[in-house]
Amino acid sequence: MSAAHAVVDLDVTGDTISRHLYGHFAEHLGRCIYGGFWVGEDSDIPNVRGIRSDVVDALRALRVPNLRWPGGCFADEYHWRDGVGPRAERPTMVNTHWGDVVEDNAFGTHEFMDLCEMLGADAYVNGNVGSGTVQEMSEWVEYLTRSGDSPMARLRRANGRDEPWQVAFWGLGNEAWGCGGHMTPDYYTSLARRYATFCRDHDGNRLTRIAAGAADADLRWTHALMASAVSSNTPDPQASPYQAISFHYYTHSGTGIQRESATEFDAEQYYRTLAHAAGVERVISAHEAVMDAYDPERRIGLVCDEWGTWWRVEPGTNPGFLFQQNTVRDALVAGLHFDAFHRHAGRLRMANIAQTLNVLQAMILTDDEGGLVLTPTYHVYEMNVGHHDAASAPSHVVRSPAATVGDEELPLLSLSASTRGATALLSLTHSGIEGPLPVTVDLRGRRAVVARARVLTGPDAQAHNTPEAPDAVAPAPLDAEVGADGVLRLTLPAHAFATVELTLE
């Protein structure tokens, strides 16, 4: 295979790559919360106050910056008061979106905030616009964040929590165009303004309110939300009704979500999937262009609070639980997304993969017997931790072999880079399945030596981890060196994700 060549400008300090681009999402869906994070205090599986300890330990290595909860579609039928107070007295409800199962509300506000504290993650609470009232949302914010003597602060104290929590992010409903209420952009925009108005900043807490926006590149939502945000915008973004707008982008191989197997796919499906994943950059650019027209100073943030692969559920599992395996292909999907996210860090402030455990493109798969498997996607998150809050460094693929996918060309090399003081981190994704790819990267502006290089791959793109073979896909050392000419040289195996940590002189 012909070689690929790229350049990285190590002496140019680009936009900061917010750690929140590595955010997570935990919905009351399938076995993400129940049987995932939450096993209950009486479980034989080691737990702290009902939250599974090995899951928390594994996630700590990812430095989870924020966790979105309780949905997704579930958020718009969730009523928070059902999930506080003595567990035995909490009412039940039907989770109509996901499996039509009865939800007993054992995991509620206190349990979620406890989980965030264990993870060291900021809370991203998604409020209910679809079927909840303004008062209900307003009181939830008060319950969570207000100190002193107020009705909701008193209720929180009666439920065992004296001090308020800090809540960083607040979602104003979810997918208003669909499961969140089948609204029009204009109707939802008015509602978002109204709900946001009553989500107050109590005491020292400062909410970033996130309006629910488009699916993919449906720019009608971005236009409506931006026109409205700017009409009341001032130099203080906190004075705008919402401080960010979101979109969702799911990856599949072109025939629609939930149609194809996570583990059994041919070369054509593989390349279509990666081309679709790379397409997230066009979607981000499209939203950015609209936002730039209304808000050139970038006061309003763009958030991709659901992304990832969506495959057919594993055989024998509940179709409403969205449990899927996770292969090398999924890891490369993640690598391509992060490269795009890094390049757009000036406007894109947060992203949340769907979802953390046992649902869609998960980090971790668990079973009810105490088994736990780290997925290839988990390893991409871990290998990219060095990008959190680092300065993006301009990087360009100058030359790369490409795969033809329909009428598009998918370059087989993707890369992005960041610097932090005397260190730099390069991430490289090789999408080719035919063989190894020799790569040279011209490191411009600063002298560098390789501190550590690692690669993530498997015998084929279908490789994945199971309880029997938990390390079938795991990071391994990679040979890489910087020559006297300042050129980094390495060879990427087929279907591989790699990181190179550099020490800068």
Which CB atom, from 306 or from 339, has the smaller least distance to ligand AHR?
306
CA 422 to chain centre: 28
Nearest to ligand AHR by Cβ — which residue? Answer: 72
Minimum CB separation from ligand AHR for residue 75, in Å? 8
Is 468 a known active-site residue? no
Q: Which is nearer to ligand AHR, 354 or 441 (CB)?
A: 354
Q: How far is the CB of 182 from ligand AHR (least distance, A)?
A: 13
89 is catalytic: no
Burial (Cβ within 10 Å: 0-12, 13-18, ≥19) of residue 275: buried
What's the closest the beta carbon of residue 360 comes to ligand AHR, in angstroms? 6
CB-wise, 73 or 504, nearer to ligand AHR?
A: 73
d(CA 4, CA 11): 22
94 bridge partner residues: 102
Nearer to ligand AHR, 126 or 440 (CB): 126
Asked if 145 contacts 203 with a C-beta cutoff of 8 angstroms, the reply is yes
**In whole angstroms, how close is the CB of 250 to ligand AHR at the nearest point?**
7
CA separation for the pair 352, 25 (Å, rounded)? 6
Decide whether 143 or 310 has the Cβ nearer to ligand AHR.
310
* Closest to 469 in 3D by CA, of 482, 459, 479, 480: 459
Q: Which residue do the tokens 């996901």 mark?
A: 98
- Residue 470: other Cβ atoms inside 10 A: 14
Instruction: Name the H helices within 72-184.
Output: 109-119, 134-145, 151-158
Q: Which is nearer to ligand AHR, 121 or 354 (CB)?
A: 354
- For the bound state, the minimum distance from the C-beta of residue 128 to ligand AHR, rounded and expressed in Å, comes to 13
Those residues with Cβ within 8 angstroms of residue 88's Cβ, 6 or more apart along the chain or in another chain? none
Residues 116 and 122: their CA atoms lie apart, in Å, by 6
Cβ proximity to ligand AHR, 36 vs 50, nearer residue: 36
- State the catalytic residue, choosing from 142, 175, 260, 382: 175
Structure tokens at 349: 């402030």
* Least distance from ligand AHR to the Cβ atom of residue 304, Å: 12
CA angle 455, 362, 54 (to 5 degrees): 90
Q: Which two tokens stand for residue 385?
A: 């931790």
What is the rounded CA–CA span in Å between residue 333 and residue 137?
Answer: 35
d(CA 355, CA 119) in angstroms, rounded, equals: 16
What is the DSSP track for 99-129?
Answer: TTEEE---S-HHHHHHHHHHHTPEEEEEE--
Distance CA 59, CA 53 (A): 10
Dist CA 345 CA 44 (whole Å): 43
Number of neighbours of residue 346 by Cβ within 10 angstroms: 15
Whether the Cβ atoms of residue 68 and residue 305 lie closer than 8 Å to each other: yes
Catalytic, out of 306, 314, 468, 501: 306
Interface residues toward ligand AHR, by CB under 6 A:
27, 71-73, 174-175, 306, 354-355, 360
Residues 6+ apart with CB under 8 A from 122: 20, 65, 66, 67, 116, 166, 167, 168, 169
CB of 473 to ligand AHR, least distance (A): 23
* Minimum distance, C-beta of residue 26 to ligand AHR, in the bound complex (Å): 10
Distance separating alpha carbons of residues 82 and 70, to the nearest angstrom: 13
Q: Which residue, 4 or 183, has its beta carbon nearer to ligand AHR?
A: 183
Structure tokens at 209: 């309110």
- Residue 324 or 392 with smaller CB distance to ligand AHR: 324
Least Cβ distance, residue 232 to ligand AHR (angstroms): 27
Where do the DSSP E strands lie in 315-447? 348-353, 364-366, 372-374, 391-393, 395-399, 402-405, 408-411, 413-420, 423-430, 437-444
**Catalytic site residues?**
175, 306
